[in-house]
Amino acid sequence: MNGQPILTLDKISKSFGPVQVIDEVTVSVHPGKVQVLLGENGAGKSTLIKMMAGVYQPDGGRILLDGKPVKFRDTNASEAAGIATIHQELNLVPTMSVAENIMMGRFPKRFGMVDRAALRKQARAALDLIGLDIDPDQPVGELGIARQQLVEIAKALSLDARMLILDEPTAALTRREIAALFSVVHDLRERGVGMVFISHHLDEIAEVGDSVSVLRDGKFVAEVPADTPEPELVRLMVGRDISQQFPRRREYTGPSEPLLHVEGLSIKGLVNNMSFTVHAGEVVGLAGLVGAGRTEVVRAVAGVDPYDSGSVTIRGRRIPRHNIGAGIKAGLGHVPEDRKVQGLVLDASVNENIGYATLASTAKAGLVDFKGQREKAQDVAGKLRIRMSGLDQTVRSLSGGNQQKAVFGRWIAAGAKVLLLDEPTRGVDVGAKVEIYELINSVTAAGGAVLMVSSELPEVLGMSDRILVMSGGHLSGELAAEDATQDKVMTLAVRDVVRDLEDKS
């Protein structure tokens, strides 16, 4: 590549205790280029960028800044060298203004007081760097996540950053917001800023990247151009061909009894008269746009939120409204939308997280059956192939896919027959996705029923036997797997939106 790189990690290694997380990896970031880091969760991407940012110090190898060896003692040192990281969790104070956030820690002062005019002017200049037209006096919390991210980028640039690390910047953005972000990335590239880009969406790589470094299990696998075909990227990343992205198998041969029946479910202003049935051995996909009411239906069925009218019947038993425990007793398991906030006690062990739903039912006289719980957790963790150092490892330190498997494991351990899955593969890498699909297969093969909410249409189409499409809070249509297409689903999904627009005009 042309010119000298801004930063080079040269044969760098890092271990935590006995675990070698990064093993002699070499990556360079060039001015005006976007270097993509690709790898499954746990491949070492985060550790690598944390070494670039000075959070971790390498055990072996060298870091070269403009060709000269350096040591980043802490994040201040790397920032001083012009390296800024835009994290997934943004470092902004929501209640303070855009200008105050951009100038945080270096407010212009006049007679010992904050010089408001200068503050606004300097912030404006920073926003202009990326052509972001927002009011500097607006509180950051009032902006959408996409704009907050851009504010953070503006802040980094105003600190003279010449290298940006973008850690999954597109994970929480809509299509349009992603396009806006990418145009900023293109501008920055023109201006010679070097960038590191991490994403789980392979289709973004060709669009935004120049070169791709692929990591697997902490080792460098290959560096390929960004326009490398997706299947080849997957092969490099996973280390094998994934012949089938959605390996749906229908192996259940028993009677197709209705396990979950929902009748006339309504929540004022959110869900309107939803009725549907999920049978033994069946995967029913619940599709629709964000805000169509899919998660609300799942949460109401699981007893997490109350509903206004209707009924939920599981395996012939009518479940009282807003009662999570009753659903679980009847054989329900709920894998919620956000595993970190709703699914897991992050600082508790894998063992404990798998056991929460069965702690009471296996107890004798109020005493925990530690031995039985542990054996069951071991068994489930083995079946689900949760990669961990042991059952006592805290869930926080597992990769996303393995965390998600731990949430599944709780319901497998509880012997759940009806699984409600809300975005089951969000933030999970390709390899672990397939493992989760296989898990769904084995649940239905054993006569279980699955209701799956997903915003990824290919996943809904690939894994469902039937697809229910929601629009504006009610069921707008049902499609059988064999004649469902993305177009048909989308037509149903926007039906009410279109109707609303027609009503208004």
Partner 1 sequence: MTTAVKAEKRQHMDIKKFLANNGALVGLLVLCLALFIATPDFLTAGNMLNIGIQASTIAVLAFGMTFVIVAAGIDLSVGSVAALSAMVSASMFTTAGLNGWVALLGGLLTGAAAGAASGMATAYGRLPSFIATLAMLSVARGLTLVISDGRPVRTADQVSFLGGNLGPIPMPIVVLVVAGLVASFLLNRTVIGRYMYAVGGNTEAARLSGIPVQKVLVIVFALSGLFAGLAGMLLSGRLDSAQPQAAVGYELDAIAAVVIGGASLAGGVGRISGTLVGALVLVVIRNGLNLLNVSSFWQQVVIGLVIALAVGIDVLRRKNTIH
Burial of 498 (0-12, 13-18, 19+ CB in 10 A): exposed
Query: Min. distance of Cβ 132 from partner 1 in angstroms?
Result: 34
Q: Which of 113, 240, 341, 482 binds partner 1 (CB under 8 A)?
A: 341
Q: Which of 37, 154, 304, 469 binds partner 1 (CB under 8 A)?
A: 304
Query: Min. distance of Cβ 222 from partner 1 in angstroms?
Result: 28
Under the criterion CB under 8 A, does residue 112 sit at the interface with partner 1?
no
- CB-CB contact of 49 with 212 (8 Å): no
Count the Cβ atoms, other than its own, within 10 Å of residue 214: 22
Instruction: Candidates 72-80, 147-155, 319-327, 448-456: pick the segment binding partner 1 (CB under 8 A).
Output: 319-327
Q: Which of 77, 90, 172, 324 binds partner 1 (CB under 8 A)?
A: 324
One character per residue 398-437, x = contact with partner 1 (rule: CB under 8 A): ------------x---------------------------
Instruction: Candidates 128-136, 335-343, 432-440, 448-456: pick the segment binding partner 1 (CB under 8 A).
Output: 335-343
Under the criterion CB under 8 A, does residue 84 sit at the interface with partner 1?
no
Token code pair at residue 321: 């409204």
Under the criterion CB under 8 A, does residue 345 sit at the interface with partner 1?
yes
Query: Min. distance of Cβ 108 from partner 1 in angstroms?
Result: 33
One character per residue 246-265, x = contact with partner 1 (rule: CB under 8 A): --------------------
Under the criterion CB under 8 A, does residue 89 sit at the interface with partner 1?
no
Under the criterion CB under 8 A, does residue 59 sit at the interface with partner 1?
no
From CA 371, how far away is CA 374, in angstroms rounded? 5
Beta strands in 319-473 (DSSP E): 332-335, 418-422, 449-453, 466-471
Under the criterion CB under 8 A, does residue 391 sit at the interface with partner 1?
no
How does DSSP classify residue 169? T
Query: Min. distance of Cβ 23 from partner 1 in angstroms?
Result: 16
Q: Which of 53, 302, 388, 452 binds partner 1 (CB under 8 A)?
A: 302
Query: Min. distance of Cβ 415 from partner 1 in angstroms?
Result: 13
Beta-bridge mates of residue 276: 262
What 376-382 contacts at long range (C-beta under 8 Å, 24+ apart), as own/partner pairs, is 376/413, 377/350, 377/351, 377/409, 377/413, 380/354, 380/409, 380/412, 380/413, 381/350, 381/354, 381/406, 381/409
- CB-CB contact of 154 with 74 (8 Å): no
Under the criterion CB under 8 A, does residue 16 sit at the interface with partner 1?
yes
What 135-140 contacts at long range (C-beta under 8 Å, 24+ apart), as own/partner pairs, is 135/98, 136/97, 136/98, 136/99, 136/102, 137/97, 137/98, 137/99, 138/97, 138/98, 139/94, 139/95, 139/96, 139/97, 139/98, 140/92, 140/93, 140/94, 140/95, 140/96, 140/97, 140/98, 140/101
Q: Which of 325, 478, 485, 498 binds partner 1 (CB under 8 A)?
A: 325
145-158 vs 116-129: helix axis angle to the nearest 10? Answer: 100
Under the criterion CB under 8 A, does residue 336 sit at the interface with partner 1?
yes
Comparing C-alpha atoms, which of 347, 427, 431 is closest to residue 385?
431
Under the criterion CB under 8 A, does residue 343 sit at the interface with partner 1?
yes
Comparing C-alpha atoms, which of 408, 286, 252, 276 is closest to residue 339?
408
Burial of 354 (0-12, 13-18, 19+ CB in 10 A): buried
Closest CB to partner 1 among 150 and 344? 344
Under the criterion CB under 8 A, does residue 90 sit at the interface with partner 1?
no
Chain residues 367-386 in contact with partner 1, contact rule CB under 8 A: 367-368
Query: Min. distance of Cβ 56 from partner 1 in angstroms?
Result: 9
Under the criterion CB under 8 A, does residue 478 sit at the interface with partner 1?
no
Query: Min. distance of Cβ 25 from partner 1 in angstroms?
Result: 18
Under the criterion CB under 8 A, does residue 44 sit at the interface with partner 1?
no
List residues binding partner 1 (CB under 8 A): 16-17, 302, 304, 324-325, 327-328, 334, 336, 341-348, 352, 356-357, 359-360, 363, 366-368, 397, 410
